[in-house]
Amino acid sequence: MKLPDSNDTVWIYSFENFNEIKRSKNMQFLDVLANLDARMLELEFNKDFKLTGRAFLHEYQDPHELYAQWLERNSEVPIEDGINLYVHFLARLAGADNHNEILQHPNNLKKFLYSILSPYDLITSELESQIEQAVSDIQLVTGGVIQDVKNLENSRASIGIGKGVVNNFPINDNPLLLIWEIMRDKAPGMTIDQFYGFDPIDKQGYDNWPCFLGIVGCHTVLNFLGFHPDKGLSIIKKIPGIMSDANHTAMAIYCDAIMSRDKRFCAKARAIYDYLELDIKILNDAPNL
């Protein structure tokens, strides 16, 4: 597929693309972005570091320069340490054999928080108390039921959706509604938006949960339920790439279209956009650039 040149087309990318480039060590993607005159789309945060629901579309700047700046900024904060904590948690839920790592999760989280806050003298007695409470709460989870999680097939079968049940729903028939018809009796007291993560009970200080975060959460839910699931959900090194797919799906709410050759990615994205009634085109073939 080769797309014609058009002054009306604005190609965009985000910091998530930089994450993928760093993992792959393939700098050619930066050349592609430069050849497209692609522009950076960046989420807006408020003074409390919470998403506002808006995003900036920056004027064109050489992606190679932006990538170098991004690497320099990230080297100042151990962001990957925080990501690794989340990766291990997700992998355990999918049945990974990382029981011991999960037991270390609360203490590792505490060390991570202190490592990013202490250099800036941001640790207060109140914050210390909050961190200790969070660590205590997480220990109840990491030392409890999460240790007993089996593989995904067993987990799905235990709630009546084994053997690819939800994977057989037609993509064009609003599959999130169809899945909810099966799951609603297994999630008493929850609304459909709470179930999929669009309106979580714990909004972590938000009055309204951002659509971006809702889509990221829903992408994860669909994977665990078995709706066109990504391969390697229990393989730790695969999780960052799966998380990138979720973020790309969410970033597209600021775009007219998203493009991918990954059929699993497209199926989940289409299901999410249909449910949210978002008019975002999904192009299943990448252009010959």
User: Which domain does 128 fall in, by range?
Assistant: 78-150
| Residue 1 reports pLDDT greater than 60 | no
**Domain end (from 128, 150, 172):** 150
pLDDT, position 246: 98
Task: Give domain status of residue 279, yes or no.
Answer: yes
Compute the distance between CA of residue 241 and CA of residue 250 in angstroms, rounded to an integer: 14
Q: Which of 9-13, 164-168, 182-186, 247-251 has the lowest mean pLDDT?
A: 164-168
Does pTM surpass 0.85? yes
Question: Which has the closest alpha carbon to 14: 198, 175, 212?
Answer: 212
**88 and 40 belong to one structural domain:** no
- The answer to whether residues 79 and 51 touch, using CB atoms and an 8 Å cutoff, is no
The per-residue pLDDT for 6 is 54
Residue 23 lies in a domain: yes
At residue 285, the pLDDT reads 62
183 and 232 both lie in a single domain: yes
More confident residue, 55 or 148: 55
Is residue 89 located within the same domain as residue 73?
A: no
Both 166 and 275 in a single domain? yes
Asked whether residue 131 is domain-assigned, the answer is yes
Q: Residue 148 region, left (φ>0) first, then alpha (ψ -120 to 50), else beta? A: alpha
Q: Which long-range contacts (CB under 8 A, 24 or more apart) does 123-130 make?
A: none
Residue 172: band (very low, low, confident or very high) from pLDDT cuts 50, 70, 90:
confident
Tell whether 289 is covered by a domain.
no
Looking at the structure, do residues 113 and 178 belong to the same domain, yes or no? Answer: no
| 145 shares its domain with 255 | no
Is 88 within 8 Å of 81 (Cβ atoms)? no
> Band of the pLDDT at 249, cuts 50, 70, 90?
very high
Average pLDDT, the chain: 91
Q: Give the number of C-alpha atoms closer than 13 A to the C-alpha of residue 165, restricted to the C-beta side.
A: 17
Look up residue 286 and give its DSSP letter. -
Among residues 29, 59, 77, the one where a domain terminates is 77
- Report CA 182 to chain centroid distance, whole Å: 25
Verify that 189 and 115 share a domain, yes or no: no
Domain presence at residue 241:
yes
Rounded to an integer, the average pLDDT of 99-118 is 90
Closest C-alpha to 268, from 211, 230, 214, 213: 230
* Per-residue confidence (pLDDT) for residue 2, from 0 to 100: 56
Q: Which pair of tokens denotes residue 126? A: 């109140």
Task: Give the pLDDT score at 289.
Answer: 39
Over 80: is that where the pLDDT of 73 sits? yes
Q: Please give the DSSP secondary-structure letter assigned to residue 201.
A: S
Q: Please count the structural domains in the chain.
A: 3
Q: How confident is the model at residue 120 (pLDDT cuts 50, 70, 90)?
A: confident
Under DSSP, the state recorded for 232 is T
pLDDT reported for residue 193: 98
